[in-house]
Structure 1
Amino acid sequence: MSNLNHTRTHYSVIVVGGGQAGLSVSYYLKQLKLDHLVFEKNSLMHGWKAERWDSFTLVTPNWQCNLPGHPYDGDDPKGFMTRDETIAYLNTFASKLNAPVREGVAVNKVETDANGVYHVSTSDGDYTADQVVVASGGYHIPVIPRMAERLPESVFQMHSAQYKSAAQLPEGAVLVVGSGQSGAQIAEDLHLAGRKVFLATGDAPRVSRFYRGKDVVEWLDDMGYYKISVNEHPLGKNVRNNTNHYVTGRDGGRDIDLRKFAQEGMELYGLMTDYDGEYLVFLPNLTQNLDKADATLNNINARIDAWIEQQGIETEEGPSVYTPSWTPEQERTQLNLAESGITSILWCIGFRPDFGWLDAAVFNGQGHPKHDRGVTNQPGLYFIGLPWLHTWGSGRFTSVGQDAEHLSEHIAAYQRRVKATSEEAVPA
């Protein structure tokens, strides 16, 4: 990687964010010989180093790791890289690329002047650019509900972004709030560590890890699912609001079955809505949440069955439908906090975006940017690395490079127009 000194202040392109998305853009800008600078307020790949727990693994198989010029080349393509292996993969990518990066420099403000030039105010001075690429992702502010303020000080609280292992938490039971991808995996991690776990579920769907002899990801890839654009998806752009399916790559990969955890002693509840000073309060929707997750799993498997039949594929396993191994005897809507033995609460309910530093009329009412495959309606402003920017893989290692290449072509075309306009303005 290349950490540059502050020797110039204007660039054709400034990229905000030094993760895999920002560096993928840099890869193609270097190929196009476009001068640019990448700002990263922490260190390269900071999110992967700081916000992943010790037992974390990718939930997508290694063969899907295909950053520009850096496909996975290890000896376990159908396996799932651990946290440390993922960081090593990303560090190698950064080293090979040697991007023009300023690490430890925060972007505080981006705005445009009357001529459409971008003014970028940073913690290390002011810069200008013809174009700006926002590659800082969409997961900025950890979501912790206001009810957390009313919980007793004796209860330790932490967001999933801070979690590393059960050893961080005081002795006693743990309440995990949220059953999305992080919540389900962290609940499993604590469960396997021997902790008493209470899990407040949500409406996250789940998916089989393996089905009919192959990883479900392989089947979906064969079926062309990962090539479907957001504009072609049945849900359209609403698919961007979907919660990720919970599954794990741990120990070679397996399903996450919350019903199985319940049989082993984990206590499951519906959506947590309040704390009244004595009781934690939940909606009576645990059964609904579990049934909905299982229905999604069965629906995906049924689509795979149809594909197998349509293509005449021979497999050793026949179609199967998941049937519940455990169902709640009753819906419990209250839990006495003091009597439960809960000493820690882990909030696994996601993040919200924070683009307050970007002065541009490109955001919807929820603070999310409006764009067409990363291209906004403001000339010279782009986004990359967001979920379903274009396809399912846009926010993942599998397709972020394709999005980067697409944006770089737009950037190059725009830069040619900037140059032509500048030359026309110069008197003969």
Structure 2
Amino acid sequence: MSNRNHPARAEGHYSVLVVGGGQAGLSVSYFLKQAGIDHLVVEKNTVTHTWREQRWDAFCLVTPNWQCALPGYPYRGDDPHGFMKKDEILAYLDGFIAHVDAPVVERAEVKRVKRRDDGVYTVATTQGEFTADQFVVASGGYHTPIVPRLAERLPARIVQMQSSAYRNPQALPDGAVMVVGTGQSGAQIAEDLHLAGRKVVLAVGEAPRCARFYRGRDVVDWLSDMQYYDMPVEQHPLREGVRDNTNHYVTGRDGGRDIDLRKFAAEGMALYGRLDDLRNGQLHFAPTLAANLDAADDVYNRINASIDGFIAKHGIDAPAGDPYEPVWRPLEERATLDVETSGIAAIIWCIGFTPDFSWLDAPVFNGRGYPAHTRGITPIDGLYFVGLPWLHTWGSGRFSGVARDAEYIVQTIREKLRERETLSAAVAA
């Protein structure tokens, strides 16, 4: 994949420079090409690198294939309600890459971006220096893995890795595996290990969950009909706060199903509350397990109840549905676990990432490193973001919604360019 689209002109000036060669950056390139706007996509690794190098072997989509709607390249397979596996996802992305044929410089890490007094952006990379009239950040928001400092004090014999480095159960040493965190990655990795017969110790976080199927259909299909995926962030009950939410855990594995941590516990998985500390060889956990399981189930049932309301309101003929009832409850909150006697041989940290835009010299970031913007348009003239979670809607960081965001950004870019052309013509006259 390396340098497959390396342009004849590398260093130099462009109307638009895009940082990030994932689905967001390539989507922006698609619309820029349609508009006839010269541009360059700069990618630190290779295009769609994250999908190729940071997904485990059994990875599959958690949303149905019909939601794969990259610009000009919708899903055309024969299983729209299925869930593409890793190799199928990569084939879909390869087709999209060829379809866009973006002007890309790969293996070009951006070191510094600054806007000059004349409004031009200067971009220093490991492959040279560029300038651009407008600048689009499409590098996502998952940059630096979160690993707690207590990890430094664990015995050296324990293999530690972040979720992006996990591949399969066979690659881990014999013994128990501790998974910390139960967002989408943590819950699915814990399931992958559990299905392989590994002893799993799971530190359960506050992530919500949802049903895979309810009342005869995929929950995603119901929510789409309810127009949830079209809801802009400013209309969400949490407003911008929804951007901090952990994704609901569910899976598309084996045709799709719920992930029920209580069922795993009944089958032998050891569930604990939030991991808090390591002292004197003992892992310490907060007494949050029961509350976290109950809260996840409450979200599950609330989503289903909203579907019930939609069905009733519209008189839809659908099979009956019942609220989820727990199949297992913890008898007690286990507060500690001895590292040596537990048999833990590996720990997988699945507690997320923090953004790192330290290379971008622009006064648009809040205290958590997140940019201020309205639908990707920042207060700084000519500076845009795309591909972030809930940039505009639920699908902004996904295959389903990034096209809408990219098109909107490019429309804004076109308007800026026209304004400048008009101003330049007026000055020349």
User: Which residue identity is paired with 1:330?
Assistant: E
Per the alignment, residue 393 of structure 1 pairs with 395
What TM-score comes out, normalization by structure 1 length? 0.98
Aligned pair partner of 1:367 in 366, 369, 384: 369
SS in 2 for 1:38: strand
Per the alignment, residue 300 of structure 1 pairs with 303
Gaps of 5+ in 2: none
Per the alignment, residue 195 of structure 1 pairs with 198
Aligned pair partner of 2:292 in 289, 294, 297: 289
User: Which residue identity is paired with 2:372?
Assistant: K
Q: Per-residue CA shift, 1:275-333, capped at 9, x if unaligned?
A: 11310000001000000000000000011011111110111x21301010100010001
Distance 1:260 1:7 in 2: 55
Per the alignment, residue 39 of structure 1 pairs with 42
Per the alignment, residue 355 of structure 2 pairs with 353
- Number of equivalences: 426
Distance 1:123 1:421 in 2: 35
User: Which residue identity is paired with 2:254?
Assistant: D
Q: CA RMSD in A?
A: 1.0
Distance 1:280 1:425 in 2: 70
SS in 1 for 2:111: strand
| Structure-to-structure mapping, 1:387-426, within 5 angstroms | 387-424=389-426, 426=428
Distance 2:172 2:5 in 1: 38
Deviation at 1:417, TM superposition (A): 2.2
Per the alignment, residue 58 of structure 2 pairs with 55
1:98 aligns with 2:101: yes
Distance 2:234 2:358 in 1: 28
Distance 1:93 1:423 in 2: 38
Identity rate, percent: 59
Per the alignment, residue 114 of structure 1 pairs with 117
| Structure-to-structure mapping, 1:200-215, within 5 angstroms | 200-215=203-218
Q: In 2, are the aligned partners of 1:3 and 1:101 still within 8 Å (CA)? A: yes
Per the alignment, residue 171 of structure 2 pairs with 168
| Structure-to-structure mapping, 1:178-193, within 5 angstroms | 178-193=181-196
Deviation at 1:424, TM superposition (A): 4.7
What TM-score comes out, normalization by structure 2 length? 0.98
Aligned pair partner of 1:87 in 87, 90, 112: 90
| Structure-to-structure mapping, 1:256-275, within 5 angstroms | 256-275=259-278
Q: In 2, are the aligned partners of 1:151 and 1:277 still within 8 Å (CA)? A: no
SS in 2 for 1:55: coil
Per the alignment, residue 139 of structure 2 pairs with 136
User: Which residue identity is paired with 2:383?
Assistant: L
User: Which residue identity is paired with 2:232?
Assistant: S
Deviation at 1:125, TM superposition (A): 1.2
Per the alignment, residue 21 of structure 2 pairs with 18
Distance 1:8 1:267 in 2: 55
SS in 2 for 1:417: helix
Per the alignment, residue 158 of structure 1 pairs with 161
SS in 2 for 1:3: coil
| Structure-to-structure mapping, 1:223-234, within 5 angstroms | 223-234=226-237
SS in 1 for 2:235: coil
SS in 2 for 1:2: coil
Per the alignment, residue 314 of structure 2 pairs with 311
Q: Which moved more, 1:103-112 or 1:382-391?
A: 103-112
Deviation at 1:342, TM superposition (A): 0.3
Q: In 1, are the aligned partners of 2:60 and 2:85 still within 8 Å (CA)? A: yes
Deviation at 1:356, TM superposition (A): 0.3
SS in 2 for 1:256: coil
Distance 2:104 2:423 in 1: 28
Q: In 2, are the aligned partners of 1:150 and 1:277 still within 8 Å (CA)? A: no
Q: In 1, are the aligned partners of 2:110 and 2:359 still within 8 Å (CA)? A: yes
Q: Which moved more, 1:273-282 or 1:61-70?
A: 273-282
Q: In 1, are the aligned partners of 2:11 and 2:128 still within 8 Å (CA)? A: no
Per the alignment, residue 77 of structure 1 pairs with 80
Distance 2:337 2:8 in 1: 57
Deviation at 1:96, TM superposition (A): 1.1
SS in 2 for 1:323: coil
SS in 2 for 1:198: strand
User: Which residue identity is paired with 2:358?
Assistant: G
Deviation at 1:106, TM superposition (A): 1.2
Per the alignment, residue 322 of structure 2 pairs with 320
